[in-house]
Structure 1
């Protein structure tokens, strides 16, 4: 009776090498797939973050109203829109479902804590042209963090009735600008899609250089 021949040492080593190579290939494939999924989730989260913040800012600005929230003693005019490179203040209604319906001062500002830039917003009720201070005071809410840069710019018609250049400051605080631009850049240098909003009820003739009384 003939006995079955066993595996030789070389055959066992070859089988082991093939098994190790197969496992290495499998782990490499799984790692690549995992990184792809993680990268896809990160891109999805970033896109959703950009969409939600941009939608919020657009809705707030398109809901802006020419309502005064303070009085400029030096110019003897009601302040309805104050725009700076890293701060913007205007009045807009809040929806009733937030439990804070009515006109509220929206105070958008940029905070740099040394580790990154944040875009925050504070809201205060406006009554009879003045801001009503809440007690206890509500802390600012963070709209976006982990940013490198946030910038606000403003635009109006010039004296010839043409679209003027973008300005870092909105000087005509008694009226709303024709357009507002918000630029946000992530900490890694990736710029968000440009956001340009036209507040409603902004006078089509608004200009930086033409006094309101003569328009």
Structure 2
């Protein structure tokens, strides 16, 4: 009788150990799945944040460029008025009626510079100066910096196609359009939008 009780007790302990092992395995699987789900959710959040940010940057640049006005004035110490628009692949200077950061009082025209990785400043740098004013671009002040911008490229459209640079003083006109390509990197994730083409109000050559 005693041996049988011992056998039954031993069998019960084995079952308990097996049950505990099974429960432990199930918990490990459950927590492992939860960890995967949390990491996937975090990746989704990072992806959404990165996409939203690059979209916001691109739309801000495009909106300001779309307000470009073929403004003529003296540039720096040059006595003759010229079309205030100049650009390279990584920098564009223009006068707009839709500045990215409007002044506290209504201003008709603002000189704006968008530059990328210029003068030791990583990412996007935005400079502004209200007009009329001397040195519209030379004395423009830094309004905004965004080091998360990891790629920024401009191209300029005329009747012959796209160009890598533009000189309004030489051409005596603004381009027909500007193509903007933007990429940002946040938390190690890089997002790049397809190029945006912005149509401009052109100034006829004079």
What is the TM-score normalised by the length of structure 1?
A: 0.74
The match for 2:142 is 139
Cα distance, 1:179 vs structure 2: 1.1
Identify which of structures 1 and 2 has the higher relative contact order when contacts are C-alpha pairs closer than 8 Å and 6+ apart: 2
Partner-residue secondary structure (3-state), 1:149 = strand
Change (3 A) 1:57 1:33: same
Of 172, 176, 194, 2:174 maps to 176
1:126 pairs with 2:131? yes
Of 150, 163, 168, 1:167 maps to 163
Backbone CA RMSD of aligned residues: 3.3
The answer for unaligned runs of 5 or more in structure 2 is: none
Cα distance, 1:123 vs structure 2: 0.6
Partner-residue secondary structure (3-state), 1:45 = helix
Spell out the pairing of 1:55-134 with structure 2 (5 A cutoff): 55-71=59-75, 76-94=80-98, 98-102=103-107, 103-111=109-117, 117-127=122-132, 131=136
Q: What is the alpha-carbon distance in structure 1 between the residues aligned to residue 60 and residue 178 of structure 2? A: 14
Q: What is the alpha-carbon distance in structure 2 between the residues aligned to residue 184 and residue 128 of structure 1? A: 30
What is the TM-score normalised by the length of structure 2?
A: 0.77
Change (3 A) 1:66 1:146: same
CA displacement 1:116-144 (0-9 Å, x = unmatched): 9411111101116753998xx843402x4
Structure whose alpha-carbon radius of gyration is higher: 2
Aligned pair count reads: 192
Cα distance, 1:44 vs structure 2: 1.5
Spell out the pairing of 1:31-70 with structure 2 (5 A cutoff): 31-70=35-74
Partner-residue secondary structure (3-state), 1:64 = coil
Cα distance, 1:75 vs structure 2: 10
Q: Which runs of 4+ in 1 moved over 6 A?
A: 72-75
